[in-house]
Amino acid sequence: MFLKAVEFEGDLKEDGNDDKLAPKIEAIKDCAILYVAAIGGAGAARVVTNKIHPIKVNKPESILVLLEKLEHALKGTPPPWLRKALAKDQRRTFELDE
């Protein structure tokens, strides 16, 4: 299910300006997984600190292909990073039910 698209203005390249990370982190704070073509050290650290698992893709892929790969991983034995992402979702659901 598609929820929303978020666009950011300005230069998106890594330049050491960590201030531009804050609105991006805020936009993805409810995500468990973030697919990226590239991510700098500061960005990766901020993403992981927010309990979001970054996954680097070597070449652009459609969202449908990425979702199919994720679905396949879920049907088998998910790797540790995916089990951790699933646990994050369960905690969030539990917190909302209280």
Residue 35 lies in a domain: yes
**In contact, 32 and 89? CB cutoff 8 Å:** yes
Whether residue 4 lies inside any domain: the answer is: no
Phi, psi of 15 (to 5 degrees): -140, 10
Is position 6 within any domain?
A: no
* 2: in domain: no
| Average pLDDT value for residue range 84-91 | 67
Largest CA distance in the chain: 42
Query: Per residue in 55-82, pLDDT tens?
Result: 999 998 898 899 899 889 889 888 888 8
Inside any domain, residue 3: no
pTM of the model: 0.70
Non-local (6+) Cβ contacts of 42 within 8 A are 14, 16, 18, 21
Total structural domains within the chain: 1
Domain holding 42, by residue range, is 18-97
CATH of residue 74? 3.30.420.130
